[in-house]
Amino acid sequence: MKMKKWLAPVLSLSLLLPALAGTQSVRAESMKPSAETPAVELRAGLDYLLSEHFTLAVVSMTKAYDGTSDAAAAQTALNQNAKDMVPAIASIYGEAGAKEFDRIFAAHNGYTDKYVTAVKGKDMMGQTAARNELEAFAKEFGSFLGSATEGNLPAAAAQDVVRTHEKQVLEVFDSYAAGNYKAAYSEFREGLGFMFGVSDALAGAITTQYPSKFDNTRSDTPAGDLRSALNHLAAEHYALAVLSMQKGFEKSPAYSALLEAQEGNTNDFTAAISSIYGAEGGAAFKQVWTGDHIFAQDVIVKAALSGDMAAITKARAKLDTFSTEFGKFLGSATGQNLPTEGATAAVAAHEKLVLEAFDIYQTTNKTGLFDSFRKGYSFMFGVGKALGGAIVTQKPELFQVKPPVTQPENPNNVTTIWFQLGNKTAQINGKNAMMDVAPYVKNGTTFVSLRTLTNTLGADVKYVPSNKTVELKLGNDKVVFWLGKNVIQVNGANVTLDAVVHIKDGRTQVPLRFIAEWLGWNVNWNGSNQSATLTKAM
């Protein structure tokens, strides 16, 4: 069974990644895969800090808007998250770099607070001023990242990433303030996922810049992708569980939207498990995950509101049962690479942290609520590490590091290229080469990664930040692509495609037949094995 690439965090840094592609060194292909290399540890640490920043930014803004008694504590937690990043920056870029990071990054948390105040006061000028401050922050912080990474993370691309993040935070808040809670928590999930893509790209830039600091390991290995995906799913689950129980206790109209968001997280978790252990394994996971788990939390909320202590005791007992049953599932599924006893203890500890946060929330002053929240959120990254490590140990064949496709020394020597739908292994003149994204069909059109195809065929591709386009050059010919459009420009003339250029797994995807034939290749389709053979046109 092949590891599905979508397990990696949703990465909409569409035009950042082309600038980073192929820059990291690749260790020997025979190296035993691991989810705990120095580079993957860096990525996991960034996963935690960046995703927690997004979560606390949204929570602090919505609580400030509602005027809750814990709003100030939420802002304090957000500020502390920023301070916690400083030692990590210092360990890589020294005290001077950390000081500059702190100066730029810490200040922007106050801009979102200004935005909340302006929205509450219906102060349009204040909202515009806050947005302008956030734009200035995006430019300054993006420039800092570009300079610090010595261009391994280009400043223009970094500015776009920071700008997108800030836009996503404000989108969640605006939807929440408008009472559109379903949209707010859908956008919350999207924005949270984006942060894991940011950590992926930033870790890649740092490890490329300082390979010896990370034992020449890569952060974007299949094992690293798995661990980050599990980090994402587990952390999102915790955040949604805590927030939903709070909203349920408040009798907030946002409660149903949070339960729906939890259902989305459950479905994504189920799909992840299914991609590794098959549909039967996914179904078994979902049955255990929902029965005495998600539903039990809802019962506890309702029982707390009614003061039904017997119902609370019974529901908490169900969570104990869940810990045991889920621990058994994990132990069995991983072939005891994650021992049942340890898995059970970890699940029980997680549930205890969720309930601890809920218990504190029911008190008058809510002292220690965000200390508890941050502890529980951090705990989930240990879960990602343990489960990811167990799966990689159990199924190493799914996580072998393979070299990316590189441009041939002389593209003119390439006469045949073979692609197959769903297969990341291409053949160039009969020799195997790995692709970044497997070819696939969408709405009847076969798509292929632009970078993989152009590198293989010998064309140049680059992102132009000023107008957010992708330019492809081959000799004196030039093609310009706009994402989300089916119109491209070929040597200055507009051409309409049958399909829309789009992003998949962080890569620009283009129609295979059009781009190959434009580059001077014939495309022959074999329906029996769903493959295409490209031969150089004479």
The reported pLDDT for the residue numbered 467 is 67
Reduced DSSP (H G I as helix, E B as strand, rest coil) percent helix, strand, coil of the chain, to 5: 65, 15, 25
127 pLDDT more than 90? yes
Query: Percent of the chain scored above 90 by pLDDT?
Result: 57
Mean pLDDT of 181-195: 94
More confident residue, 138 or 109: 138
Tokens of 106: 């810490």
Tens digits of residue pLDDT in 202-261: 999 999 999 999 999 999 899 999 999 999 999 999 999 999 999 999 999 999 999 999
The reported pLDDT for the residue numbered 266 is 93
Burial class (CB in 10 A: 0-12, 13-18, 19+), 392: buried
Q: Give 186-210 as a 3 state SS string.
A: HHHHHHHHHHHHHHHHHHHHHHHHC
Tell the residue number behind the tokens 């301070």, with chain if given.
Answer: 83
The reported pLDDT for the residue numbered 249 is 95
- Cα gap 219→201, rounded to integer Å: 9
The reported pLDDT for the residue numbered 24 is 36
Mean pLDDT of 265-271: 91
- Kindly state the greatest CA–CA separation across the chain: 81
Q: CB neighbours (10 Å) of residue 503?
A: 16
Task: Enumerate the β-bridge partners of residue 473.
Answer: 460, 478
The reported pLDDT for the residue numbered 491 is 82
Separation of first and last alpha carbons in the chain: 40
The reported pLDDT for the residue numbered 479 is 84
Q: Which 3 state secondary structure label does DSSP give 382?
A: helix
378 pLDDT more than 60? yes
- Count the helices and strands in the chain (H runs, E runs): 14, 14
Tens digits of residue pLDDT in 269-281: 998 898 889 889 9
More confident residue, 434 or 68: 68
Lowest-confidence pick of 153-157, 159-163, 209-213, 422-426: 422-426
Beta carbons of 515 and 453 less than 8 angstroms apart: yes
- Host H or E run for residue 419: strand 416-420
Mean pLDDT of 56-75: 95
Task: Enumerate the β-bridge partners of residue 503.
Answer: 508
- Cα gap 528→247, rounded to integer Å: 54
Phi and psi angles of residue 179, each rounded to the nearest 5 degrees, phi first: 80, 10
More confident residue, 118 or 3: 118
Mean pLDDT of 353-357: 95
What type of residue sits at position 304?
Answer: A
More confident residue, 448 or 38: 38
Tell the residue number behind the tokens 């640490």, with chain if given.
Answer: 45
The reported pLDDT for the residue numbered 91 is 93
The reported pLDDT for the residue numbered 15 is 30
Lowest-confidence pick of 40-44, 324-328, 453-457: 453-457
21 pLDDT more than 50? no
pLDDT band of residue 27 (cuts 50, 70, 90) is very low
pLDDT band of residue 412 (cuts 50, 70, 90) is low
Question: What integer best gives the mean pLDDT of the chain?
Answer: 85
- Cα gap 318→325, rounded to integer Å: 10
What type of residue sits at position 250?
Answer: E
More confident residue, 55 or 112: 55
- Cα gap 262→156, rounded to integer Å: 35
Mean pLDDT of 128-152: 93
The reported pLDDT for the residue numbered 377 is 97
Phi and psi angles of residue 485, each rounded to the nearest 5 degrees, phi first: -125, 150
Phi and psi angles of residue 385, each rounded to the nearest 5 degrees, phi first: -65, -45
From 450, 435, 437, select the one nearest 403 (Cα to Cα). 435
The reported pLDDT for the residue numbered 141 is 94
DSSP 251: T
More confident residue, 483 or 184: 184
122 pLDDT more than 50? yes
- Cα gap 200→17, rounded to integer Å: 10
Mean pLDDT of 86-104: 94
Phi and psi angles of residue 211, each rounded to the nearest 5 degrees, phi first: -60, -35
Tokens of 343: 């898995």
Length of the chain: 538
The reported pLDDT for the residue numbered 172 is 96
